[in-house]
Structure 1
Amino acid sequence: MKRKLFNFLALAVAIALLAIGCQQIQIHRTATAPTPVNIKLSGWGSDPIEQKLLKQVLKDFEVQHPGIKVKYEVISDQYMDVIKTRLVGEAAPDVFYLDALEAPFLMSQNVLEPLDAYITPEFDLSDFEENLINSFKHDNQIYGLPKDYSTLALFYNKKAFTAAGLTSSPTTWDELRTYSKQLATDKNQDGRIDQYGYGVIPELARQAYKIGAFGGQLVDENGYATFASEAGLKGLQLVVKQYQKERSSAQKSDVGTNSGSEMFGQGKVAMVIEGNWAIPFLKETFPQLEFATAEVPSINNKKGTMVFTVAYVMNKQSQHKKEAWQLISYLTGKEGMEKWTATGFALPTRKSVAQKLGYDKDPLRSPFLAGVDYAMPWQAGKYPAAIMNSFDNQFVSALLGQQPLEQAMQRAQQEANKLIKAME
């Protein structure tokens, strides 16, 4: 009996010791297990499908980097105002979107982390479109890596072209104007044009390359507006003449629509110059529409278009720069970029990814890729709002014939430079 009791006690002690040992091992493991680093990524709201796609790419990143957790924040209103306020208050996210238009100001404020020291040869910087990287360079340093882009291209209605006896897209602006006259139709014979040849979007973002076609510039080396030069006016005059005298083009307000894509999709215009974002919109909203794309017609024997791009940038005050770089390098690396741009909502900024996805051979998307080398980056100095708002207000006035073009542009330039001087 005593022996059995002794054996029982020995077994109980052994079990207790084993339990204590296991507990200590568990405590040790818990104590030494690395706590994931939390970093924040901020961007603006976009298409729900794009949002879903980005969240999936971020999940893939976390799987490959188990020591990092990414909190993705959508700033749906007044994005840049929010970011600037947080940067001043040292509460900005670790990584955030930065549009090329806003980049010159932020790059000059010493609030962004230069990325040159993080970029290794394996990252293959040369794979990026040079024109896009240059939009995020300041004082010979790189402050952002572009995540996607779009140039502008000509969209044209194939049925309307066939009906007008046109067999190919226009390659020069003179041809576009000639085509526009042929494409304008009055189906009801009531003197009202039912379909205009071309849809004009008067904002500076769509007119800047015309200013550059004759050697004009948006801003000078000091950041002051200079778009009212004689060279700049030559390009803009083409738009005014077509709208006022030839009456073969229309604005969205003339035909009761909200965008260039919409007036084209509804058949109110047979041609429009739009970005890559119009392709999925037109396919989804107007599935019966037969359309094609082509490079923007040349002006003054020069090819021209605009390029719009957005980069991932790092907050200089980030407490987790190593992890922030890992996120940026994944999202803009070959694997992450392929996942992000595979649906065609956005175009990849890496040449190898564009080729792998076949966009350089895609009939609808290849004109956008062709334009990136000669495109004018959408930037207008450190104070772009002053430039844009002044131009847009006065150019519409000139387009409507309320004042001569030269007078309108001189007023816009003076107005913009007065605002810039006050902000310096």
Structure 2
Amino acid sequence: MNKNIYRFLLSLLVIITLSTCKSRTVENFTTVTLSGWQSNPNEQQLLDRVLKKFEAENPNIKVKYEVINEQYMDVIKTRLIGDAAPDVFYLDSFEAPLLMKYEVLEPLDSYITAKFDLDDFEPSLLKAFRYNGKIYGLPKDFATLALFYNKKAFAEVGLSQPPQTWEELRDYSQKLTIDKNRDGRIDRYGFCIIPELSRQYFMIKAFGGQLIDRNGYAAFATPDSLKGLELLINQYRKERTAAQPTDVGADSCSEMLGQGKTVMAIEGSWAIPFLKETFPKVEFAIAEVPPVNEKEGTMAYTVAYVMNKQAQHKEAAWKLIAYLTGKQGMKAWASQGLAIPTRKSVLNELNYSENSLYTPFVEGAKYATIWQSGENLPTILTHFNNQFISALIGEQSLQDAMLKAQNTANREILAAK
């Protein structure tokens, strides 16, 4: 045989053999798809490191991670309808009731063992992903709201500690609000308000009010529900010691605080790295939200890892969820302070309870109102926000605004049944 032909055939044989081996190797891997959103670049880098560690410990599983930042839930819902959703994905407690009701998620009870230590999770956060006695998601982290305040501005007016009641917060706001030129234009407000239901749900409950009734209809236009909201309206309109971020050209209360346009703001733990990085010269401290009507209250937001009921490799998908929400994976995920862990043991191990900046958030989880209220909450949210802002700026009374929001939301809920 011609030597050149022999060499060609030998080379061809080697290529075919390598290709076959490669194919067989790939076939030994199980690929699990994971989707979520990204709050900042550091978050994705941290998760990438956690996922690589998972793959190292589970060499037969590869994770294909996709970031969806635009219209996240619309994308997930569309893919669920088309049987193209990821195996595992983030699910906010706000959206969970609808997906749990329509059974598009895989119940996790049969996968959870005693070794997994379910009792280690904060009970109220885990409850957000229970439906009809089944667990459909495991919360990966959480955030509550707490009171941020500028220590230097406090000292300037002789204040040495945060307000202990909501009445005291209003009194502080008057002392801290400044009109330098006495021309009616406020240069610095004592307090920042976010006029959204996701921030003010706990204020509705402070005087015994409720958001929805037993049948899932909006029920927030009652006198008891309005009392907490009226406190905000009065502080904004009558006392003029509070402002929205948009009133001063800011995007958030934390930005207002950093710019010196407010002294107090109720924000989540996500504001800590923002203030440190963007406004490093601002000396701020954090306290629990002052009690309203002698009742402790704040909001809590949590996100779970859930499994698509149509996932092709459910055992591998569970291994991923178990790792990410297990003690080892959660510790790695929460080690840099980007998120507060939902496991009590990890909270203690990472000393969150002993960090003065994070203690108010951890304590708040014990009595917080979870941002969740049935499958009709998205509809109620839209109409509440539209009308509450109208009442805040004085276009109509709070009672008229909330009654209009309640009736419009309920007509829409009834029409959808």
TM-score (norm 1): 0.92
User: Amino acid of the residue matched to residue 297 of structure 1?
Assistant: P
- Residue 30 of structure 1, CA deviation: 8.5
- Aligned ranges 1:408-423 → 2 under 5 Å: 408-423=401-416
The superposition leaves residues 80-136 of structure 1 with CA deviations (integer Å, 9 ceiling, x where unpaired) of 111111111111110000000000000000100011111111101111000100000
2: CA distance, partners of 1:343 / 1:45: 15
Q: 1:283 aligns with which of 262, 276, 287?
A: 276
2: CA distance, partners of 1:375 / 1:32: 50
- Aligned ranges 1:107-256 → 2 under 5 Å: 107-256=100-249
Match of 1:378 in 2: 371
Match of 2:8 in 1: none
The superposition leaves residues 34-56 of structure 1 with CA deviations (integer Å, 9 ceiling, x where unpaired) of 61100100112320000111011
2: CA distance, partners of 1:162 / 1:360: 26
Preserved CA contact (<8 Å) 1:40 1:93: yes
2: CA distance, partners of 1:193 / 1:322: 59
Match of 2:63 in 1: 70
2: CA distance, partners of 1:30 / 1:143: 36
After TM superposition, the structure 1 stretch with the greater mean CA deviation from structure 2, 79-88 or 329-338, is 79-88
- Residue 29 of structure 1, CA deviation: 11
- Aligned ranges 1:359-378 → 2 under 5 Å: 359-378=352-371
1: CA distance, partners of 2:209 / 2:353: 31
Preserved CA contact (<8 Å) 1:148 1:347: yes
Which runs of 5 or more structure 2 residues have no equivalent in the other structure? 1-15
Match of 1:266 in 2: 259
Match of 2:297 in 1: 304
Residues 53 and 28 of structure 1: CA distance in aligned 2, closer, same or farther (over 3 Å): closer
Preserved CA contact (<8 Å) 1:94 1:315: yes
Share of identical aligned residues, percent?
A: 60
Q: 2:52 aligns with which of 59, 81, 89?
A: 59
- Residue 193 of structure 1, CA deviation: 1.5
2: CA distance, partners of 1:46 / 1:208: 23
Preserved CA contact (<8 Å) 1:179 1:197: yes
User: Amino acid of the residue matched to residue 117 of structure 2?
Assistant: D
Match of 2:397 in 1: 404
Aligned residues: 402
2: CA distance, partners of 1:113 / 1:96: 12
Residues 32 and 71 of structure 1: CA distance in aligned 2, closer, same or farther (over 3 Å): closer
- Residue 186 of structure 1, CA deviation: 2.1
Preserved CA contact (<8 Å) 1:34 1:67: no
**Partner SS, residue 87 of structure 1:** helix
2: CA distance, partners of 1:265 / 1:32: 54
- Residue 326 of structure 1, CA deviation: 0.2
Preserved CA contact (<8 Å) 1:210 1:299: yes
Match of 1:18 in 2: none
Residues 90 and 161 of structure 1: CA distance in aligned 2, closer, same or farther (over 3 Å): same
Q: 1:42 aligns with which of 21, 25, 35?
A: 35
Root-mean-square deviation over aligned CA pairs? 1.8
Match of 2:336 in 1: 343
- Residue 28 of structure 1, CA deviation: 9.7
1: CA distance, partners of 2:22 / 2:374: 54
1: CA distance, partners of 2:128 / 2:46: 25
User: Amino acid of the residue matched to residue 179 of structure 2?
Assistant: D
The superposition leaves residues 276-322 of structure 1 with CA deviations (integer Å, 9 ceiling, x where unpaired) of 10000000000000000000010111000000000000001111010
The superposition leaves residues 158-206 of structure 1 with CA deviations (integer Å, 9 ceiling, x where unpaired) of 0010001101000110000000000011234443221100001110111
**Partner SS, residue 246 of structure 1:** coil
**Partner SS, residue 307 of structure 1:** strand
1: CA distance, partners of 2:412 / 2:46: 40
Preserved CA contact (<8 Å) 1:225 1:416: yes
User: Amino acid of the residue matched to residue 382 of structure 2?
Assistant: N
TM-score (norm 2): 0.93
2: CA distance, partners of 1:137 / 1:33: 37
**Partner SS, residue 155 of structure 1:** strand
User: Amino acid of the residue matched to residue 321 of structure 2?
Assistant: I
2: CA distance, partners of 1:289 / 1:87: 45
User: Amino acid of the residue matched to residue 344 of structure 2?
Assistant: K
- Residue 218 of structure 1, CA deviation: 1.3
